[in-house]
Structure 1
Amino acid sequence: MNRLPSLFLSHGAPTLPIDPSLPSAEFATLSAQLPRPESVLMLSAHWGTAQPVASTATKPETIHDFYGFPRQLYEIQYPAPGAADLARRAAALLRDSGMHAGEEPHGLDHGAWVPMLLMFPDADVPVAQLSIQPRLDAAHHFRVGRALRALRDDGVMVIGSGQITHNLRAADFSARPEDADPRVAEFTDWFEARLAARDIDALLDYRQKAPHAVLMHPTDEHLLPVFAALGAADDDYSLAIQSLGTYQRSLAMTNYVFGTA
């Protein structure tokens, strides 16, 4: 089997599957352009632990980890099979690289099941989730991805799920797409230029080097998954960008595919 790409997805609001004003169909378009994985290893911004933990759940629960949304959203179930063997292998690879890594059954939070639902609506691709470490930095998550790179040779798609910009305090939920804060584009343009140049050192130091970095990410748990996906990529990766626009003034949605050169 050919080596699969690694991905970073901006999973948007939990309402992405039910709100026609949000770009949900584009995830299916992206999925159709990619090789079909045998399984997915998902790192979501919404499962954080002190050290990496891989979920060995065989039937992961659909976790509705949000409140105040329409009832329809809480009725959605995503009954994809778990990938316990993949989880155990991921944990072993991390331990082999010198990291601590645990294993426990854990369901799929909305950062995991929302993009899986949109990309693989038949829920027939096994998925294991791996936690992120919100108190650790970009370099740590890049090392996590590096340790997992070999999985891509065995039909595994490594996906980081977060948001390319994520400042809810700056969001205006009545704003139109054309009302986007221009600083959002300044940040994403810098980030994507550095991705295209494969400037890993600058990316890992983005909080010091990127324009408006702290404004775009007051806390960086929604960006950390991109560094895991980047770490899992080839050194000479090809970059594909799917820009889905900016919503609520400050929340940009962009997906990245790190492919083989």
Structure 2
Amino acid sequence: MSPLPTIFVSHGSPMLALQDSPARRFLQGLGESLPRPKAIIVFSAHWETMNAPAISLAEQPATIHDFGGFPKALFDIQYHAAGAPEVAEQAAALFAAAGIAVSRSAQRGLDHGTWVPLSLMYPQADVPVMQISLVRGAGPAAHEMLGRALAQLRHEGLLVIGSGSLTHNLYEFRGQAVDAPAPTWVSEFEVWMRERLEEGDHAALLEYRNRAPSAVQNHPTEEHLLPLFVAMGAAGAGAKAQLLHTSVEHGVLAMDAYAFN
């Protein structure tokens, strides 16, 4: 079996599940473009734990509507994918072998960073899914190490997805239309990240917060970019980044997606 790529997707606003956009159309075709996985492991920006990653063992994970102020139709969406507790325990064993402590959650469901993109990629909810948390306060290098510990899983038919947003400063959201143009501070950051990823400039990427233009303005907090480093690490040493999609929503959300292989 050929190894699966690892994937970083930008999930944007929860309205991505309902509202037409280039990013939505891209995600609707992404699942069919990939070899069918046995199960999916998602690191979402919307689950952070202290000190160590947590792994969900839920057999039938609930759909978590972790947002407010959106239409009822969004709250009505239920993504009924089965969980993957055996995969979760396999991941826990790999973390342990790498010297990474983990905790376990018996009931953690799927937050919108997971079910929104998966409802577009795999609308039949017929691939088992489990989540692993980010570690609050840990930076890019630590999250790349989390991914690196799981690198063998892509050789076993498992799809690792990091779900966040290439840019994510909602303090700058002023009700812009979904197709509003990006300001310079967003577009320059997106270009810098793309160039470093395609060049494989690992050192610069890990130091993006000090080296990329407007890095702190695009990410006042890091949780929406950290899943990219997990996906990068989970592809293994020497993996190459491939830009799969680029667009901007509401001016401030760069919706870029990458494969690592």
Q: TM bucket by the smaller chain?
A: over 0.9
Task: Give the equivalent residue in structure 2 for 1:19.
Answer: 19
Question: What TM-score, normalized by structure 1, do the two folds share?
Answer: 0.96
Q: Which residue identity is paired with 1:154?
A: E
Alignment of 1:1-261 (within 5 A): 1-21=1-21, 23-50=23-50, 51-105=52-106, 106-175=108-177, 177-259=179-261
1:8-63: CA deviation from partner (whole Å, max 9, x where unpaired): 00001111111124631210222222111111010000000011011000000000
Question: Any conservation in 2 of the 1:3–1:152 contact (CA below 8 Å)?
Answer: yes
Secondary structure at the aligned position of 2:134 is classed as: coil
Equivalents in 2 of 1:154, 1:243: separation in Å?
26
Question: Any conservation in 2 of the 1:60–1:82 contact (CA below 8 Å)?
Answer: yes
Equivalents in 1 of 2:222, 2:134: separation in Å?
11
Question: Any conservation in 1 of the 2:169–2:217 contact (CA below 8 Å)?
Answer: yes
Q: Which residue identity is paired with 1:229?
A: A
Secondary structure at the aligned position of 1:165 is classed as: coil
RMSD of aligned residue pairs (Cα, Å) = 1.3
Question: Any conservation in 1 of the 2:44–2:162 contact (CA below 8 Å)?
Answer: yes
Equivalents in 2 of 1:52, 1:174: separation in Å?
35
Percent identity over the alignment is 45
Question: Any conservation in 2 of the 1:59–1:82 contact (CA below 8 Å)?
Answer: yes
Q: How many residues align?
A: 259
Secondary structure at the aligned position of 2:7 is classed as: strand
Question: What TM-score, normalized by structure 2, do the two folds share?
Answer: 0.96
Unaligned stretches of 5+ residues in structure 2: none
Mean CA deviation greater in 214-223 or 180-189: 180-189
The structural deviation recorded for 1:117 is 0.7
Equivalents in 1 of 2:178, 2:111: separation in Å?
28
Question: Any conservation in 1 of the 2:200–2:240 contact (CA below 8 Å)?
Answer: no
Mean CA deviation greater in 22-31 or 136-145: 22-31
